[in-house]
C-alpha cells in the first residue's frame, strides 16, 4: 500500500463489515464515559467510511476523534461481525497525519524528535536513558522535587514530571548475554525482543524472561543492538516508519532461524504479529513477514505451548490479581495463558479482578496526550484492584505496569505491580 493512500485504498470489505448493531458500545471506554455516538466504535467507523467514500474530508474533528480513541480493541472482542478495528484504526490515524489537519510547529517538532529520531535508533534512546538515570541516581531529581521549583511549571508539565519512570540501574545488554544456553537439554532456539522503553524501565523483566526461557529448554538469542518494533509508529500514523522498522527486525531476526521470536510486552506483540499487513506489498519481505507473524509468540503463549516446568512447592503465600493488557487480551486473544502461568506457581492465590480487560488508560502514549480520560480509567482500575484485597497486581505490558504503579503511588497504596514472568522467575529461584 502506498503511503499516500490510507482509508480510501483499504479493502472496502473491511470498511463495510460493520452492521451498526451496537454490541460493541458497552465495551468501549470512551463511549462509556461520554455516551456520545461519535466517541464509539460504530461512530468512528462511520466517520472512516465517510472519508473512504469521499463524503467527508479529513478534518480536525475527525483527527481529534481518532486520537480520543484508546486503540484498546475491546470493540473487536465484542464485535459479532469480526470487524477488524485494529486495521481501520491504524489507517485512520495515518490518514489524519497525512492530511496535516493536526499539524503545528510544536507538534511537528515533538513528533520529529520522538517518532522520527529517538525511537528510530535505540542507541539514541539509551543515551537519553543514561542521562535520565544519572539525573535520578545523583539525587538531582529528588532535590528538584523537594525544592518546590516545579511549582513554577504549568500544571500539565508538573503532572508529566511526576510520571517520569525510574530508569533501571542496568539495561538488558548489561544483564543478558547475546546468547544464553538452555539449562539441561536444549529443545528450542528462540529470539527475545528487548523492546525500547521496556529496556530502559523494565530490563529486569527481560532478564527474568530469559531466565524462565532457559529453564524451559530454550537457548535464547538476545543481540545487543535491537530496534523498536514500530508499534508506536503504526499507532500514531507513521506507516512508512513502521514498515522500515519491520524490515530491520526481520533482517536482525530471520524467522527461519528460530523456533519462536518472543516478546513479553502485550502492546508490542499485538503489532509484531501483523508484519505481513505492513509488508504485504513488498516483494522482498512479503514471504518472510508471513513466516515472521507465525513465529512471534507472547511469552505466556509460548510457555503454555511448550509445557511449563512447574516450580517446586516451597513458595511463600501471596494473593495476586491479574490486569489484562488490552493488546494481549483483545489484540492477541491471550486470556487463559497468563492465568494458567500464575496458577502454576504453588501457594499463589489468584483473585479475579473485576473488569480485568477494561483499559487502564495507558494505551501507548494516551496517558500523555489525553490525561483526563486516562486518569479516570486509572482510578477506575485502582478501585477494582483495591476491591480484590490483593497485595500484588500482575500484568503483561510495560505501559500498564507504569500506569498502575503511578496511580497506586499517587493514591499512597502499598501495592506490588509486576509482570507475571517475574513471579515465575522468583518461584524458580525459590526452589534452587
15 interacts with ligand SF4 by CB under 6 A: no
The answer to whether 415 and 372 are in contact (CB under 8 A) is no
DSSP codes of every residue in 140-194: HHHHHHHHTGGGGS-HHHHHHHHTPPPPPSS-HHHHS-SEEPPSSS--EEEEE--
Strand order of the β-sheet with 260-263 is: 179-180, 218-221, 188-192, 260-263, 296-298
- Measured CA to CA, the distance from residue 390 to residue 319 in angstroms comes to 5
Candidates 9, 11, 16, 19; binder of ligand SF4 (CB under 6 A) is 19
| 10, 18, 51, 193: residue in contact with ligand SF4 (rule CB under 6 A) | 18
Radius of gyration of the chain (CA): 21
* Interface with ligand SF4, residue 374, by CB under 6 A: no
- Which of 114, 102, 233, 126 lies closest to 174, judged by CA? 126
How far, in Å, CA of 269 to CA of 301, rounded? 11
Binding residue for ligand SF4, selected from 44, 276, 297, 327, defined by CB under 6 A: 44
Q: In what order do the strands lie in the sheet with 416-418?
A: 348-351, 318-322, 392-394, 416-418
Query: Which stretches does DSSP call E strand in 343-410?
Result: 348-351, 392-394
Cross-strand pairs, 189:
219
| Structure-derived torsion over alpha carbons of residues 274, 378, 125, 245, reported in degrees to the nearest 10 | 10
Nearer to ligand SF4, 20 or 55 (CB): 20
66 interacts with ligand SF4 by CB under 6 A:
no
How far apart CA 423 and CA 377 sit, in angstroms, is 26
Contact between 30 and ligand SF4 by CB under 6 A: the answer reads yes
Determine, following the binding rule CB under 6 A, whether residue 75 of this chain makes contact with ligand SF4: yes
Closest to ligand SF4 by CB, 22 vs 354, is 22
Helix, strand, coil percent values for the chain (each to nearest 5) = 55, 10, 35
Placement of cell 532535590 in the chain: 143
Q: Closest approach of Cβ 72 to ligand SF4, in Å? A: 4
We find the least distance from the C-beta atom of residue 48 to ligand SF4, in angstroms, to be 11
Q: Nearer to ligand SF4 by C-beta: 13 or 104? A: 13
Find the shortest distance in angstroms from Cβ 11 to ligand SF4: 16
- Per rule CB under 6 A, is residue 266 in the interface with ligand SF4? no
The two most distant CA atoms of the chain are separated, in Å, by: 66
**Segment interacting with ligand SF4 (CB under 6 A) among 63-71, 279-287, 290-298, 407-415:** 63-71
**b/e per residue 346-361 (b: at least 16 CB within 10 A):** bebebeebeebbbbbb
Q: Which of residues 408-427 bind ligand SF4 (CB under 6 A)?
A: none
Binding mask 174-203 for ligand SF4 (x = CB under 6 A): ------------------------------
Among 6, 14, 42, 300, binds ligand SF4 (CB under 6 A): 42
Contact pattern for ligand SF4 over residues 77 through 116, marking x by CB under 6 A: -xx-x-x-x-------------------------------
Sign of CA dihedral 423, 427, 430, 432: negative
CB of 415 to ligand SF4, least distance (A): 25
- Asked if residue 73 binds ligand SF4 (CB under 6 A), the reply is yes
Looking at 14, 48, 74, 122, which residue binds ligand SF4 (CB under 6 A)?
Answer: 74
The only residue of 70, 88, 213, 245 in contact with ligand SF4, by rule CB under 6 A:
70
| Rounded Cα–Cα distance for residues 139 and 289 (Å) | 46
381 is a contact residue toward ligand SF4 (CB under 6 A):
no
User: How many angstroms separate the CA atoms of 358 and 72, rounded?
Assistant: 9
User: Of residues 7, 14, 69, 218, which one binds ligand SF4 by CB under 6 A?
Assistant: 69
- Count of chain residues binding ligand SF4 (CB under 6 A): 27
Which residue's CB is nearer to ligand SF4, number 83 or number 334? 83
Collapsed DSSP state (helix, strand, coil) of residue 262: strand
Beta carbon of residue 356, minimum distance to ligand SF4 (angstroms, whole number): 15
Question: Contact region for ligand SF4 (CB under 6 A) — 15-23, 104-112, 131-139, 317-325?
Answer: 15-23
- Nearer CB in complex with ligand SF4: 45/425: 45
- Residue 23 as a binder of ligand SF4 (CB under 6 A): the answer is yes
Q: How far is the CB of 355 from ligand SF4 (least distance, A)?
A: 13
Give the binding site for ligand SF4 (CB under 6 A): 18-24, 27-30, 41-42, 44-45, 69-75, 78-79, 81, 83, 85
Amino acid at each position: 500500500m502506498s503511503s499516500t493512500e490510507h482509508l480510501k485504498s483499504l479493502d472496502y470489505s473491511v470498511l463495510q463489515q460493520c452492521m451498526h448493531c451496537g454490541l460493541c458500545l458497552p465495551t468501549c471506554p470512551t463511549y462509556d464515559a461520554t455516551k456520545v455516538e461519535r466517541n464509539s466504535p460504530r461512530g468512528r467507523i462511520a466517520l472512516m467510511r465517510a472519508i473512504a467514500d469521499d463524503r467527508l474530508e479529513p478534518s480536525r474533528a475527525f483527527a481529534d476523534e481518532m486520537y480520543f480513541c484508546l486503540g484498546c480493541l475491546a470493540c473487536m472482542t465484542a464485535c459479532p461481525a469480526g470487524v477488524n478495528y485494529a486495521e481501520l484504526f491504524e489507517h485512520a490515524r495515518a490518514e489524519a497525519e497525512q492530511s496535516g489537519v493536526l499539524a503545528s510547529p510544536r507538534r511537528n517538532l515533538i513528533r520529529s524528535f520522538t517518532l522520527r529520531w529517538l525511537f528510530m535508533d535505540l542507541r539514541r534512546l539509551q543515551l537519553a536513558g543514561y542521562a535520565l538515570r544519572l539525573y535520578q541516581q545523583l539525587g538531582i531529581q529528588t532535590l528538584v522535587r523537594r525544592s518546590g521549583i516545579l511549582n513554577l511549571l504549568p500544571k500539565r508539565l508538573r503532572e508529566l514530571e511526576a510520571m517520569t519512570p525510574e530508569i533501571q540501574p542496568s539495561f538488558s545488554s548489561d544483564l543478558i548475554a547475546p546468547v544464553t544456553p538452555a539449562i539441561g537439554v536444549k529443545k528450542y532456539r528462540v529470539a527475545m525482543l528487548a523492546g525500547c522503553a521496556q529496556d530502559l524501565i523494565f530490563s529486569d523483566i527481560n532478564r527474568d524472561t530469559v531466565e524462565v526461557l532457559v529453564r524451559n529448554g530454550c537457548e535464547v538469542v538476545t543481540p545487543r543492538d535491537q530496534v523498536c518494533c514500530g508499534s508506536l509508529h503504526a499507532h500514531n500514523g507513521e506507516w512508512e516508519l513502521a514498515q522500515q522498522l519491520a524490515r530491520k527486525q526481520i533482517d536482525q531476526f530471520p524467522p527461519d532461524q528460530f523456533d519462536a521470536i518472543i516478546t513479553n510486552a502485550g502492546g508490542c506483540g499485538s503489532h509484531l504479529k501483523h508484519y505481513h499487513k505492513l509488508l504485504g506489498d513488498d516483494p522482498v519481505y512479503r514471504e518472510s513477514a508471513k513466516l515472521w507473524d507465525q513465529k512471534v509468540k507472547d511469552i505466556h503463549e509460548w510457555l503454555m505451548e511448550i509445557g511449563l516446568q512447574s516450580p517446586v512447592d516451597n513458595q511463600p503465600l501471596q494473593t495476586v490479581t491479574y490486569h489484562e493488557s488490552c493488546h494481549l487480551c483483545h489484540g492477541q486473544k491471550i486470556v487463559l495463558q497468563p492465568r494458567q502461568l500464575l496458577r502454576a506457581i504453588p501457594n499463589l492465590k489468584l483473585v479475579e479482578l473485576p473488569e480485568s480487560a477494561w483499559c487502564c488508560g495507558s494505551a501507548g502514549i494516551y496517558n500523555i496526550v489525553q490525561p483526563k480520560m486516562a486518569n479516570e480509567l486509572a482510578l477506575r482500575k485502582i478501585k477494582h484492584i483495591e476491591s480484590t484485597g490483593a497485595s500484588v497486581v500482575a500484568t503483561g505490558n510495560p505501559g500498564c505496569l507504569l500506569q498502575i504503579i503511578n496511580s497506586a503511588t499517587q493514591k499512597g497504596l502499598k501495592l506490588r505491580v509486576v509482570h507475571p514472568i517475574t513471579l515465575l522467575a522468583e518461584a524458580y529461584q525459590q526452589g534452587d
